[in-house]
Amino acid sequence: MAKPPRNPASGILFVDKPQGITSHGVIARARASVGTRKIGHAGTLDPMATGLLVLGANNATRLLTYFVGLDKQYLATIRLGASSNTDDAEGELSPAADAAAIAAISDEAIAAAVAGLTGPIMQRPSSVSAIKVDGKRAYTLARSGEEVVLAERAVTISVFDILEIERAEFIDVRVRVDCSSGTYIRALARDLGGVLGVGGHLTALRRTRVGPFEVSRASVLDDDLAGQLVSPAAVAGELFESVELDDQSAFELSRGRQVPLGAVGTGPIAVVNSVGRLIGLAEVVDGRTRILSNFPADAVAVSQEGEPSDG
């Protein structure tokens, strides 16, 4: 089988991950579709989960680190009445809670428990998370039979809305969660069931937003993903304040020389040249410009733009 031609184009790729495939499976598909081995991610989803994955191709992988700390939004279904050793439906379920105890839980009690898990909270990550323990992933230790109890960490649940409650043998609570980076929705399901005394686990999860980027703009795996790359300049412009420099100034800044950026705010600044290509991310400290990350031009961009003089 012939290898696809190497595609040197850089860009951010927003993909709507389907259920049943790993995030690394999505990355493999993206590599084949885009035509490059250099594709990274800004955070994975479990195989059970669907929704927004943020990938970077070629030089745009340098932007991915700025996605990791962004807040996220999820739609989820929490099943009350049984726990799971993985805190989700893919694990081994505990015996169901007493039917009378499940039936006795009112909508008001669920709402009160949800309110108690809203705002700044301490959360113990799931034992099958990707957090490293003594150099090994927690999920590797847990699935090998070791008992894993991770330390609590501070997270913020800014929105925890109940969308629907369905009652049968169990209670299924459909929710929307807006949360800080590092929040585990499986752990939220576990803790909601714990507060109500009947156990709980996650049965469905969909990531609908990362920072300002909604899943509605995402491509599906069957798309020609090479044509769906979003330019680094466009993405950086949604994340940060942008400054356009003339080509000579942009070139000098990319070489680490001091170039005034004018009146700018705090935090990273996206610096673009006259044709809108992202030159780098910079910051101004005590009046001096400091490059945080350079974004070298792709071969195609160099041939189109040429290079200003370095003399």
Report, as residue numbers or ranges, the catalytic residues. Answer: 46
| Cβ–Cβ < 8 Å for 105, 193 | no
**Do the beta carbons of residue 175 and residue 76 sit within 8 Å?**
yes
Q: Are 81 and 201 in contact (CB under 8 A)?
A: no
Give the per-residue SS3 of 24-36. HHHHHHHHHHHCC
Of the candidates 236, 260, 224, 267, the residue with the CA atom closest to the CA atom of residue 11: 236
**Looking up tokens 């400054």, which residue turns up?**
243
- Give me the amino acid identity at 249: S
Helix (H) or strand (E) holding 142: helix 138-143
Residue written as token pair 């031609």: 5
Task: Report which DSSP code applies to 210.
Answer: E
Task: Please name every residue paired with 167 in a beta bridge, in sequence order, or none if there are none.
Answer: 171
Sorted by sequence, the CB contacts under 8 Å of residue 28 that are 6+ apart come out as none
Partners of 153 in the β-ladder: 123
Q: Which three-class secondary structure state does DSSP give residue 125?
A: coil
Alpha helices in the chain (DSSP H): 23-34, 99-103, 107-116, 138-143, 185-196, 232-239, 247-254, 299-305
